[in-house]
Amino acid sequence: MDYLPVFLNIKQRDCLIVGGGRVAARKARLLLRAGAHIHIVAPTIKDELVGLLQQFDAMTYHAEVFHPRYLCNKALVIAATSNHAVNQAVSVAAQAKNIPVNVVDNPDLCTFIMPSILDRSPIIIAVSSGGSSPVLARLLRTRLEALIPAAYGRLATYAAQFREQVKRHFSHPDNRRFFWEKMLQGSFAEMVFAGRDQAAQDYLLKTLESSSDQPPTGEVYLVGAGPGDPDLLTFRALRLMQQADVVVYDRLVAPAILNMVRQDAERIYAGKRRSHHTLSQTSINELLVKLALEGKRVLRLKGGDPFIFGRGGEEIETLSQHHIPFQVVPGITAASGVASYAGIPLTHRDYAHSCIFVTGHLKDNTVQLDWPALARPNQTIVVYMGLLGAPELCRQLIQHGLPATTPAAIVQQGTTSNQRVLTGTLATLPTIIQNNPLKAPTLIIVGEIVKLRQKLAWFAV
């Protein structure tokens, strides 16, 4: 994150704009909407600013060149001249006094960026590209305009109006949040959007009166986060990620996906890597039960799909034994997601009539698999977690009947910007891996189907 998004209260505060043209006028109108007292410093000003000065008493014009004395007691400063030297002088002087400064169209001289704003007061949404592409920020704001009706502002006003009454009714903070989630996503919100204000108020009060203040009942959401690309999340996964109180997540959950969890949710890392477990599986099972019994909505976020080498079955078996309610949300497993992004179909009528998934963990320096079942023709083999065991894997497949020339690929961090695909054969893959250090997670794909990558690779990073 290049900039920390903040919202400044500049009501009745003195702010400085250096410049007298159209850009300065545009910034002045924005600051006026936020309730600021504005000082304009420029040798001359254009008609647009003259009109604003005549219209608003909260504006003062100083017909001079910029001098640092104008920074005294200012809440923020905007430099909007066409003279780079002046803009730079304003920036240097403001930063020396620790005053937030924005230099229009020059991010290097800014300590804050002016975003593109969607105003649904009291709801305000700011979109910024960090100064790199203001046009793109405006385009995104335009999309949000269509998605967020003006009535959302009225919805927020109602929430403020009844906030104290709801707070008095519920002694448990979680119950208050559950109540507002129900109101703001259900019939109450639809009534407000339709302009049925009295009906909306009556509905809210009736629902509040009938709502219990008993300790909330916990629940666990077992959610597959997919192979890494946030765009591959399901709608249901995202919805539950946004309403969970606490998230227990694995090492394979991509940071970009974890950032989509509700910001105030507690985060508990339960990651596992070879020979190092932050929490044992038994401890994770017990933790999920404990958190749910505390009344928490628990998000168990797992890379890929929770039921494919994710030990999700063990976790919900424990939940069931303790009568804990749970939901399961499938995710795109690494086999299908990574293979697709690598341009390698898992089945094809000319190459593979079946596909088999296995794990390639080393145990006592061996990979313990059903080798005769794997070493069959016209079959795709997908090996999860097989990076260290790749030499043994290839040796055993050759020993049990697959030709040494059988195509094979290994994919590093598939579907992400760090994706890397290396191809060879069962005979050459171990040497390829040795000469090209890879970072977990990786996926190995073996079979004639790998030949198609040359034609079908589409995902370029």
Q: State both tokens at 4.
A: 């920390």
Query: Is 197 considered catalytic here?
Result: no
Q: Which residues of 133-170 are buried (b: 16+ CB within 10 A; e: fewer)?
A: ebeebeebbeeeeeeeeeebebbbebbeebeeebeeeb
Q: Is 345 annotated as a binding residue?
A: no
Q: Is 34 annotated as a binding residue?
A: no
Query: Is 451 considered catalytic here?
Result: no
Q: With contact defined as beta carbons under 8 Å apart, do 180 and 207 qualify?
A: no
Element (H, E) at 159: helix 151-169
Q: Is 197 annotated as a binding residue?
A: no
Question: Under DSSP, is residue 27 helix (H, G, I), strand (E, B) or coil?
Answer: helix
Q: Is 303 annotated as a binding residue?
A: yes
Catalytic residue among 27, 229, 245, 250: 250
Q: Is 35 annotated as a binding residue?
A: no
Q: With contact defined as beta carbons under 8 Å apart, do 88 and 80 qualify?
A: no
Catalytic residue among 272, 290, 363, 439: 272
Q: Is 21 annotated as a binding residue?
A: no
Q: Is 149 annotated as a binding residue?
A: no
Q: Is 157 annotated as a binding residue?
A: no
Q: Is 325 annotated as a binding residue?
A: no
Q: Is 131 annotated as a binding residue?
A: no
What is the distance between the alpha carbons of residues 458 and 453, in angstroms, rounded to a whole number? Answer: 9
Beta strands in 303-397 (DSSP E): 326-329, 354-359, 379-384
Q: Which residues pair with 79 in a beta bridge?
A: 18, 103
Q: Is 22 annotated as a binding residue?
A: yes
Q: Is 202 annotated as a binding residue?
A: no
Q: Is 43 annotated as a binding residue?
A: yes
What is the distance between the alpha carbons of residues 171 and 167, in angstroms, rounded to a whole number? Answer: 7
What is the distance between the alpha carbons of residues 54 and 39, in angstroms, rounded to a whole number? Answer: 14
HSE-CB for 184 with a 13 A CA cutoff = 18
Count of CB atoms situated within 10 Å of the CB of 181: 12
Which residues does the annotation mark as catalytic?
250, 272
**Known binding-site positions:** 22-23, 43-44, 227, 303-305, 308, 333-334, 385, 414
Binding residue ranges for S-adenosyl-L-methionine: 227, 303-305, 308, 333-334, 385, 414
